[in-house]
Amino acid sequence: MTDEADAESPARRRGIQSVEIGLGILEALAGLGQASTLSAIAQASGMAPPQVHRYLQSLIIAGMAHQDPATGRYDLGPKALKLGMAALSRIDAFRLVDAAIGEFTQRTGQTVQIAALGPLGPTIVRWNMGRPAVMTSFNVGSVLPLLYSATGQAFLAFTPPIETEHLLERELASGPMTRAQAEALRLAVRAQGHAHVEGTMVPGLRATAFPIFDLQGRAVLTATALLPEAFAGGRHEEALGELKGLCREVSAQLGWFA
């Protein structure tokens, strides 16, 4: 039997189809933007719930999906997030930013986190620890809120609304902020060119986030400087100005011009 004939055998075709169906379910799960019920995932993937359930069980075993034992809802698993971050690490923008921010932290002692807008929300992809060390429960892989973190607000302001609308709707439905207030926040952050919060995520912690733009003027990454309020001072403010300039320089290298 030739290689071509073997490649077209029924068993081979079934194997490929199974992979495609599994990936389609993962894509549907990611597109929902939050932990979802079996029926919602089945509707999004255009498949019958029993069939989706069988695939989800295999994806859970492989670490690509996760089911919350308390709610029964499904979400992306740790290996899916790992694959996503591995893919991101191969993008020139990430390597460029990672090197520039790493050198900045070494030189200034400022703690800076790099984040990307993932399917579940703003996601930390690198944490550059400075001096003094900033200790929080957030680490690489943590997902931050769109409205209440400096990182999220930067993505809200400098990313096309179609990319953040599902995240915005979810947070508006569960939080005290109104849509009018969210829109005012978006405009305010755009006007000042960066986002800043104090104590909204971690008591006593200041966070200032700067966008990093691609050729089309879209914020592909953010760099967020973190500092306990007790250590705030003139040197930190100088460093923030330098970080802002650095993000503009990196954006220019990615093809963006103000």
Residue 48, number of CB atoms within 10 A of its CB: 9
Using DSSP, state whether 84 is helix, strand or coil.
Answer: helix
Residue that wins the pLDDT comparison between 91 and 24: 24
Cα–Cα dist 48/32, whole Å: 17
Residue that wins the pLDDT comparison between 60 and 236: 60
54 and 69 Cβ atoms separated by less than 8 Å: no
Amino acid at 253: Q
Name the percent of the chain lying above pLDDT 90: 58
Instruction: Identify the CA nearest to 189 among candidates 220, 222, 162, 216.
Output: 222
Cα–Cα dist 132/223, whole Å: 18
Instruction: Identify the CA nearest to 113 among candidates 80, 136, 91.
Output: 136
Position 69 confidence tier, pLDDT thresholds 50, 70, 90:
very high
Cα–Cα dist 55/25, whole Å: 8
State mean pLDDT over 146-173: 95
Q: Is the pLDDT of residue 134 over 60?
A: yes
User: Is the pTM of the predicted complex or chain greater than 0.75?
Assistant: no
| Minimum mean pLDDT range among 59-73, 117-131, 227-241 | 227-241
Name the percent of the chain lying above pLDDT 70: 89
State mean pLDDT over 208-214: 95
Instruction: Identify the CA nearest to 232 among candidates 210, 207, 211, 209.
Output: 207
- Asked if the bond preceding 145 is cis, omega within 30° of 0, the reply is no
Q: Is the pLDDT of residue 205 over 80?
A: yes
User: What token pair was written down for 50?
Assistant: 């029993």
State mean pLDDT over 107-120: 92
Cα–Cα dist 174/126, whole Å: 28
Q: What is the DSSP string of 176-210?
A: S--HHHHHHHHHHHHHHTSEEEESSSSTTEEEEEE
- Structural domains present in the chain: 3-77 (1.10.10.10), 91-253 (3.30.450.40)
172 and 183 Cβ atoms separated by less than 8 Å: no
Summary mean pLDDT of the chain: 86
